[in-house]
């Protein structure tokens, strides 16, 4: 019973970011993704090859600012 309660609470919370992204305008999500990648491969990291940059590395670099 406790496992069922846990799943009923955590599953909707885990899907919340996807729901928020789903209601955002597509152009805004696209702009944010481009902005994130441009920041993560910008002047601080001039030798970064963009196709080799992972999303997690880009987010880490964004949070270091």
Q: What is the pLDDT of residues 17-35, one digit of tens each?
A: 888 888 999 999 899 999 9
Q: What is the pTM of this model?
A: 0.64
Per-residue model confidence (pLDDT) at position 19: 87
Dihedral angle of Cα 18, 24, 27, 29, to the nearest 10 degrees: -40
Please name the residue ranges forming H helices in the chain: 2-23, 26-40, 55-63
pLDDT tens-digit map of 46-61: 888 888 989 899 999 8
The pLDDT of residue 2: 65
Q: For the chain, what are the domain ranges?
A: 25-65
- Quickly tell me which residue has 């019973």 as its tokens: 1
């Amino acid at each position: 019973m406790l496992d069922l309660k846990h799943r009923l609470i955590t599953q909707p919370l885990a899907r919340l970011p996807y729901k928020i992204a789903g209601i955002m305008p597509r152009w805004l999500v696209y702009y944010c993704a481009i902005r994130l990648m441009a920041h993560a491969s910008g002047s601080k990291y001039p030798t970064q090859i963009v196709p080799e940059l992972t999303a997690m590395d880009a987010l880490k670099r964004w949070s270091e600012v």
